Each structure stands twice: as structure tokens, then as C-alpha cells.
Structure 1
Amino acid sequence: MDAIESTKIQVPDGELYAEVVGSGPPIVLLHAGYLGVGMWDEQLELAEDHQLIRYEARSHGRSSTATCDHHPYQDLLAVLDHFQLETASLVGNSMGGATSLTFALEHPDRVERMVLFGPGAPPVEFQDPFVLEHHRAQEVAKQAMDADGYVEALLQLAVDGPHREPDQVDPEIRRRCRDMAMTTIMNHHTATGGLLELDVRSRLEQIAAPTALVVGELESTDLHRIAGEAARRMPNAELLEFAGCGHMTNMEDPQRANDLIRRHLAG
């Protein structure tokens, strides 16, 4: 594999950390909330026949701390423009999936195809008692300025999920997610700008890009519901379930994820 090149991309009021490797049809990888480009390490083998671009959203990882409210899909546009890409395929997880759906709605001419793992479709309404319980635990830890408690609640929510105990999850995946989340919290706890959302959910029928929607078998009921609704309403979408996986499907079953990405992007 070619060497990974890193760069900084200018956006209003800041910059994004980005990496690029490989050549061929471009794929942009969009990470989950609190994580960073490292969640896509298992997908780097796709650089054998694609140009891979992965970047960290504002207030994440090595990117700038947000000091003003912003639309993540506009930052994605800046990424494509920086690399002079007229179009690209998008592969996203969770928050990255929500950004991808929003971008495909606002800039349909710039998107080839999408593979989205456990995506949100803004505005996301959480109903699962397990999810709500862990959101409350995160808020308690936040008020107590307990970074370790906050990250542990996040890991139980977004890595373990409602059907597994922490010791039932690959410890290396858990460690990597913890390290990325802790970096984000330590680097960006002073952020004064937040994410702005568009109403994507009411307009799912307008997203025409061929899309594979993936949900882990061990996911929360909220993510199953959101992905199922998107698959029913988007005109060119298919829904797949990864057995034995939680929210971090591309990390837990990378070979199946990579095979799916290659197959779907090849049409």
C-alpha cells in the first residue's frame, strides 16, 4: 500500500485533519461521533484499487475546536473541493452516516454511491430505554467533569450495545474507541460551536444515490428503526444486517464490510 499522506483542509473558522492514500475511484470515509480516522484502519486495504480520503470532523481528533455552529455536510463539501473531486462515494458510520445522507440530499450531483453503517437520519429521536439511560449517565459524568465516566458510558452505548457486557467485546476495538474518544474530549471540551442539522428524515425519498444501509444485529432498537425506515423510503437503498456485531460493524467484521463496500461501489 502507498504511504498515507496527511493534510489540513481550511474551513470557516478552522481546519480539518485529513489523510489520503491510494488511487482509483475516490471514497470518503466519515467517522462516528467522538471517534476519528483510526476507526477506518481496517478499511485501508481498499486503497489497493481506490483513492481513500478520511478526515476528522470539527471538534474531533486533530481537527480544530469549533467556535461557531456549523453544518457538517458543508465541511464534507470542502473536503471534496480540496481534493478536486467532482464526485465521490461515501462510506460513513453513525454521525458520518448522517452527514453523508445530508450531503447526498443537498449535493446529489457530487455523490456516486454510499455504504452507511448504523447511520442517523436527522433529526434523530431516541426512544430505546438503553440509549436514554446511557445518555443520562453521560450527562451526569459531564456535570461532574468525569471524563473517564463519560467515555465509559459512551463505550457501553456505542461499542458494547444493549446485548453485551464489556468483556464480551473485542478488547482491542474497545481500547481503540476509548483512545479516540478520550482524545476528542481532552482536545475539544472547550468547544463553543455545535453541529447544525437539516431535516433529512422528512425528505428521504429525495435521496437517490444507490445506498447500502448496514445495521449490526446487536444494535439498539433505535438504529434498527432508523435504518429500516430509510431503506423503505429511499428509492435505491438496501438494508443488510451484520450478525454478531454492534454499532462498530466495520471494525468488528472488517472483511464482510470491505467485501460489501467493493461490491456495492462496483454497482
Structure 2
Amino acid sequence: MSQHTGRPGSETELPAPGGGRLWAERGGSGSPVVLLHGSGMDSRLWDAVLPELVRHHDVVRYDARGLGRSAAPGRPFDDVGDLRAVLDHFGLERAALVGLSMGGETALDFALAHPERVTALGLVGASVSGHDWPPSPETGAYAEARRRGDAAALAELELTVWAAMGRTAPGGELVAAMVEENAARRIVSEHFLAGAPERPAEPRLGEVTAPTLVVHGDRDHPEIAAIAERLAAGIPGARRHLVPAADHYLPLRTPERLADLLLTHLAH
């Protein structure tokens, strides 16, 4: 696996609920922030943003179950439970949560389940539980690749649909490495991932109490823009920013702009 470049501090492996280990890294000082990556990626997503964040905050990032350096699941699990385990392991009673895509969905679900533990939310190109994605040829192709267990097809779809700016754009080589290295792991992990929560987030956005920043790129999938609009309209006091020259892998495409937006939001 390619090496992390923006190391914030010390690495550790912590027990995952129900067995297995989660890889995590912590560094910096100040108010705590936890970074959550998207599906089929790993915590290298935050490499280019991390150096600036750790100058101002106590930052934790971790690899979701079965991805990156975290152990593959052997039984059903849920991402909200894993996030709670990470916070508990590091003794963080409260923290800001910044998540991209699936990581944003997990952060939002956690904020609704445990509002007392979340000081702020940063939702970057986020998905949201309970959202009805419109049918399309690409969603059908994803389902077929998963059904066949075809990691190569899944990686190709990910890079075509979600990394539209390609390998030559900023962060392109790392995007491709993450996607290709995690494709087979993703199929295993998603097989054991619990389904939507009993109380999905989309109908409950008005219950979110944490100050929320919604960020998405102008080259991201059109449905991400629709979700961002829904999040910004539904979450009380949420602020929305459209970032130019960024697709779904926004933290690697425009890291300086994202770091600036996050630090301003977290300083409030």
C-alpha cells in the first residue's frame, strides 16, 4: 500500500466492536476533530488537508472497517458503532466530525444518535441515509459488479463516475491508488455492512443540533449536489459552499480551499 504523506502523529490499532481491529492515527493539539473517508477509499483521502488541520486541532483519522489498514469484517457491523468505538478509545467525549460521502453519512447518523458527543459537522460531498437515489445505468453497473465480486470493474466504475477529473488532476495518482487497492476489500466489507439505520437521517435533518458546514465540488456527481441542497435546507443554520475545480475526491483536488473552509467553520 502507498505510504501516508501527511502524518499527524502516532498510529494505533484499536478493537472494533464484535472483533477485528481498526487502524487509526492521532496528532496535533486543540479541540478534537475526527475525519471519516468515503466508501472504497481509506484515510489517505485526508493526506493533503491534514498538515493544516493538525496545526490547530487534535485530529484523528481512521480506516473504516475492512478498508485501508483496518481488518476485514467477519460478521455484520455498522459504521456508527465503529465511530463510537474510535471516540471511546481516544477518550473523546465530544468531537467535531468531518466526513466525505459515506463518511459524511456516518457522521450525520452519529450526530442524530449521539447529539451530545458532536460539537460540529463538516459534510463534504456527503451521502445521507434514507435518500432515494434515482435509478441509472451506473447504479445498475455498480450492483452487477458487486454481485459478481468483480473488483476490477468496481474500481473502473469508481474512477469513471466519481473521479471524473482523472489521474492528471491534483491528487489523481493517490485517488487511483486508493480506489484500486481497496476495490476487493470494499466488496467484502459491504457484504457485512449493516443496512440503513432504523431511523434514517434524511427525514430528520431538522433535529440536527451541531453547527453544520455542507461542502461539495462543482464536478461531483449531480445527485451529490441535490443531496447538498437538501442538507443545507433541512439542517438548522447549515451553511453550504460549492467548491470549483473539484469532483467527489475534493480533499485531494482542492485541499487548501477545503482546509480554509473547515478551519473557519470549526473556529466558531
- Normalised by the length of structure 1, the TM-score is 0.89
**Residue 3 of structure 2 aligns with which residue?**
none
SS at match of 1:153: helix
- Residues 1:84 and 2:83 are matched in the alignment: no
- Residues 1:32 and 2:38 are matched in the alignment: yes
**Residue 44 of structure 1 aligns with which residue?**
50
Whole-angstrom CA distance in 1 between matches of 2:40 and 2:185: 11
Whole-angstrom CA distance in 2 between matches of 1:119 and 1:207: 15
- Offset of residue 179 of structure 1: 1.6
What is the aligned counterpart of 2:177 among 170, 176, 179? 179
**Residue 193 of structure 1 aligns with which residue?**
192
> Unmatched 5+ residue regions in structure 1?
none
Contact 1:27 1:88 in 2 (8 A): yes
Residues 1:3 and 1:142: Cα distance change in structure 2 (over 3 Å)? closer
What is the CA deviation profile of residues 40-96 of structure 1, one whole-angstrom value per residue up to 9, with x for unaligned ones?
A: 001112111211100011121111212222221111111111000111111110000
Count residues in correspondence.
258
Contact 1:72 1:196 in 2 (8 A): no
Whole-angstrom CA distance in 1 between matches of 2:186 and 2:126: 23
- Offset of residue 24 of structure 1: 1.4
Residues 1:205 and 1:43: Cα distance change in structure 2 (over 3 Å)? same
**Residue 10 of structure 2 aligns with which residue?**
5
Residues 1:95 and 1:225: Cα distance change in structure 2 (over 3 Å)? same
Aligned runs of 1:91-240 on 2, under 5 Å? 91-127=98-134, 132-142=136-146, 145-160=149-164, 166=166, 170=169, 173-187=171-185, 189-191=187-189, 192-198=191-197, 199-240=200-241
Contact 1:6 1:17 in 2 (8 A): yes
Identity of aligned residues (%): 32
What is the aligned counterpart of 1:62 among 62, 69, 73? 69
Residues 1:143 and 1:2: Cα distance change in structure 2 (over 3 Å)? closer
| One-letter identity of the residue aligned with 2:94 | T
Whole-angstrom CA distance in 2 between matches of 1:64 and 1:33: 15
RMSD after superposition: 2.0
- Normalised by the length of structure 2, the TM-score is 0.89
- Offset of residue 188 of structure 1: 5.5
**Residue 53 of structure 1 aligns with which residue?**
60
- Offset of residue 238 of structure 1: 1.0
Aligned runs of 1:222-261 on 2, under 5 Å? 222-261=223-262
- Offset of residue 149 of structure 1: 2.5
What is the CA deviation profile of residues 195-214 of structure 1, one whole-angstrom value per residue up to 9, with x for unaligned ones?
A: 33221111111011001001
SS at match of 1:48: coil
Residues 1:75 and 1:90: Cα distance change in structure 2 (over 3 Å)? same
> Unmatched 5+ residue regions in structure 2?
1-5
Contact 2:8 2:59 in 1 (8 A): no
Contact 1:2 1:22 in 2 (8 A): no
Whole-angstrom CA distance in 2 between matches of 1:151 and 1:2: 26
- Residues 1:73 and 2:80 are matched in the alignment: yes
Whole-angstrom CA distance in 1 between matches of 2:67 and 2:111: 22
Residues 1:50 and 1:250: Cα distance change in structure 2 (over 3 Å)? same
- Offset of residue 181 of structure 1: 2.2
What is the aligned counterpart of 1:15 among 11, 16, 21? 21
Whole-angstrom CA distance in 2 between matches of 1:144 and 1:227: 32
Contact 1:65 1:188 in 2 (8 A): no
Residues 1:145 and 1:197: Cα distance change in structure 2 (over 3 Å)? closer
